[in-house]
Structure 1
Amino acid sequence: MSAVPSVLSRSSLRAAIKITLAAALAGAWALRFSQVEFVWYPLLAVVMCMDETDTRVVAAARARVLGTIAAGLVSFLVHTLLEGWLGLTVTLLIVVPLLRLFKWQASLGTALVVSSMLFLVARYAELDALYVVNRTADTLVGVLATLIVNALFWPINRLGEMNAVERQLRQLMAQRLETIRQQLKGEPDAATAPPRPDPQPIAGGRLCQQLSQLVGDELRSNPDGPVRRQHWRQRSLLWERINHHSLQLQRLGLLLPQGALATEATPWLERLPQLLQTRASAISPLPHRANLRLVAEAKGLSPLLLLAFDDELQRLARSAQSLALASRRDGEQR
């Protein structure tokens, strides 16, 4: 339990250091350049662009710049006709549909803030085109400082992390399938048989959740990047299914006596631990599926239990085959 707070504290400390450095750099540049008249524009850009988890810095920076430009241009045009709260209302009625039209919804918050600052402060009554250009440049100072600090300090290779999590999932599932194989091929003598392991769903579920979060963050940050081309969204969902079906298979296997399927299941049982290591792999169903009743009577087992086990086995094999097909293009690119 103590490891979780330490990880969270390190992450929070790094986020605090990064936003402090970015704000210091943006403030220093703002004081250095005489064209930057209002220091809070770069600092506001740092606050709005630097993400605590470092997931959407580039997307937030793009939204900040686009929102500033759109709000500045529309405010300048409306300002020639209207002022005060009425001008702000008309500006928002134009800016919001305009950003939605160009699918820049992420810039709505920035456009709202910039439009309010331009119209609701008395000194901004002298708004002109040069003023809009200068305020956009002020924003770019903060955005550039954020991007530099984010790239230099603790950069995150999210694609590498996803590959690492997937390797952990393959290792965990291989161990789980090996446990199932040992259980089904073990000697039925209870005196010499090792104790049965209990299913451990927490580790697999945690890794699946971590992979899904990484994929979602990367897709939001870079929608058209390698994550989409390499089908990571589909692979994340398939890993969740594999974790579920392998866990169900393990639970059903624990209901069978040790060695119950050693004779009938030998052709596919030896390949079970390598199920996730082969491309487009498939497992044949339990032999003589129509004769499962006879097998169950001979072994003293429940036919429904064998049918349930076979059904979970086939679902697991199909999910593994789909995962192999989804990962094939990634393997070819490597």
Structure 2
Amino acid sequence: MDALLVRNTLKMFTAVFLTAAIALWFERIEFVWYPLMAVVIVVDDNDDHTVKAATARVMGTVIGGLVTFVVHTILSGWMGVLVSILLMIPVLRLFGWQSGLSTAATLSVMFLMIPRYEALDWDYVFNRGLDTVVGCLVALGVGLLFWPRNSYRELQSLDQHLLADLQGQLERYQAWMDGQHERPAPLNTAPLTGNLMRMTDLVERERRGPRQKRLRSSRWQQRLRLWQIVQFHWIAWERLIEGLPSLDIAQATPLQQSIAGLHRQLQGGAQTTPRREPQRWQQLAQSQRLPLLQLLALEEETRPLHASLGSLARRPC
């Protein structure tokens, strides 16, 4: 089972349970959907667990309630909802509270679509706004106290996992060259792509969050670009090797040197990118009756892969 899914499920359950318990304790169960809706939105958005992010979420929700109250005196129904949201967006952006837009917009819908919306008064706005803010705070508190998110620790873990996968696969290719095993099957691209997509999500979230300066100084954006280059060329490189006919690997010197060079690069060996030597690959194609174009394509894929793997191994974040 996916650990991230279990973590988010437990976080959602805990936040909903605590919110419902608070509503029941203070005898506000009649409008419990307000804080529960806030809990669902905040947990789903996976907010940054910082004071700045929590303030933006809460104040954005409060502003949404105030804007909706003013608009309801002029417009009703879906037109009122539309105008409220259009007014909220610039106001929230002005104060830097745009992360509260989702709960503010939901509050607007619930306010203006209730029966007899014209009876909406300050008492109702204050109490329902307070309910929604409580839901936001509970969701943020649960995430902060029980399951704090550490993007950089997760990035490190994903990075090490990807490096270990490539290292293990290159060791299997090395064993194939030594005649100890059959030609290895290509790596399953699903975990490779999934881990890379998760890294992309984490980097993008940090770029939009309050820790932008730390992201820029940590070089994770540059490392992510390197991983994207590696993924593209690695998949193509393995497919080309998989598509080669049966060959005498002991006599395939260019291929042996290519694999050994990648292996050394990933271990931190400082090597220059190999020069193009089409004559050697042509000799290999002629001696073992292999497709020349496929071998030349393999050489071309090896060069950027060689450079990128070396950069990843020598410059850890």
What does residue 140 of structure 1 align with?
133
2:191 aligned residue: 206
Displacement of 1:74 after TM fit?
Answer: 2.1
Q: Contact between 2:265 and 2:271, CA under 8 Å: does it hold in 1?
A: yes
Match of 2:264 among 274, 286, 289: 274
Work out which of the residue numbers 115, 119, 123 in structure 2 matches 1:125: 119
Greater CA deviation, 64-73 or 297-306?
297-306
CA deviation profile, 1:264-316 (whole Å, cap 9, x unmatched):
67776544313223287543236x44554356545665543432221121121
Q: Where in structure 2 are the equivalents of 1:239-250 lying within 5 Å?
A: 239-250=227-238
Query: Hey, what's the Cα distance between the residues in 1 that align with 2:267 and 2:8?
Result: 37
Rounded Cα–Cα distance in structure 2 between residues aligned with 1:245 and 1:143 = 44
| 1:62–1:257 distance in 2 versus 1, CA, 3 Å | farther
In structure 2, relative to structure 1, the CA distance for the partners of 1:284 and 1:182 (3 Å cut) is farther
Distance 1:132 1:265 in 2: 72
Offset at residue 149 of structure 1 (A): 1.7
Amino acid at match of 1:82: I
Gapped runs of 5+ residues in structure 1? Answer: 187-192
Pair 1:260 & 2:251 matched: yes
Matched-pair identity in %: 31
Q: How many residues of Structure 1 are paired with residues of Structure 2 in the alignment?
A: 307
Q: Which whole-Å CA distance do the structure 2 matches of 1:102 and 1:279 have between them?
A: 50
Question: Which of 150, 157, 164 in structure 2 is aligned with 1:171?
Answer: 164
Please state if 1:22 is matched with 2:18. yes
Given the superposition, is the C-alpha separation of residues 171 and 116 from structure 1 closer, same or farther in structure 2, using an over 3 Å criterion? Answer: closer
Take 2:291 and 2:154, find their aligned partners in 1: how far apart are those partners?
Answer: 44
Please list the CA deviations of residues 81-110 of structure 1 after superposition, one character each: whole Å capped at 9, or x if unmatched.
Answer: 536447656544533554567776654443
In structure 2, do the counterparts of structure 1 residues 76 and 229 end up closer, same or farther at CA, with 3 Å as the change threshold?
Answer: same
* TM-score, scaled to structure 2: 0.72
**When the two structures are superposed, what TM-score results if normalisation uses the length of structure 1?**
0.69
Cα distance in 2 for residues equivalent to 1:179 and 1:144: 51
Equivalent position of 1:314 in the other structure: 303
Say if 2:68 is the partner of 1:75. Answer: yes
For 1:237 and 1:74, how far apart are their aligned partners in 2?
42
The 10-residue stretch of structure 1 (314-323 or 130-139) with the greater mean CA deviation from structure 2: 130-139
The question of whether the paired residues in 1 share the 8 Å contact of 2:155 and 2:202 is answered with no
Number of the residue aligned with 2:218: 230
Over 3 Å counting, the alpha-carbon distance change for 1:260 and 1:56 in structure 2 is farther
Residues 281 and 212 of structure 1: CA distance in aligned 2, closer, same or farther (over 3 Å): farther
Correspondent of 2:88 among 95, 99, 118? 95
The whole-number CA distance in structure 1 between the counterparts of 2:273 and 2:312 is: 14
* Equivalent residue in structure 1 for 2:36, among 19, 32, 43: 43
> 1:280 and 1:27, CA in 2 relative to 1: closer, same or farther beyond 3 A?
farther
User: Which is greater in Rg?
Assistant: 1
Asked if the contact 2:265/2:306 (under 8 Å) is kept, the reply is: yes
In the alignment, the residues of structure 2 paired with residue 196 and residue 212 of structure 1 have an alpha-carbon distance, to the nearest angstrom, of 31
The Cα offsets for residues 51-99 of structure 1, whole Å up to 9 and x where unpaired, read as 3xx83465996675344222223234445x5364476565445335545
Among 196, 220, 231, the alignment partner of 2:182 is 196
Q: Quick check: 1:18–1:153 contact (8 Å CA) kept in 2?
A: no
The amino acid that maps onto 1:239 is: W
How far residue 217 of structure 1 moved from its aligned partner, in angstroms, is: 4.7
Matches within 5 A, 1:96-111: 96=89, 98-99=91-92, 107-111=100-104
Cα distance, 1:14 vs structure 2? 2.0
CA 1:244–1:296 in 2, change beyond 3 Å: closer, same or farther? same
- TM-aligned CA distance change 1:221 to 1:31, over 3 Å: farther
Would you say the 8 A contact 1:199–1:247 is kept in 2? no
Give the match's secondary structure for 1:278. coil
Could you say what secondary structure the match of 2:173 adopts? Answer: helix
* Residues 270 and 310 in structure 2, CA contact (< 8 A), matched pair in contact too: yes
Name the CA distance, whole Å, in 2 between partners of 1:132 and 1:279: 65
Q: 1:44 to 1:169 in 2, by over 3 A?
A: closer
Pairing 1:55–2:46 present = yes
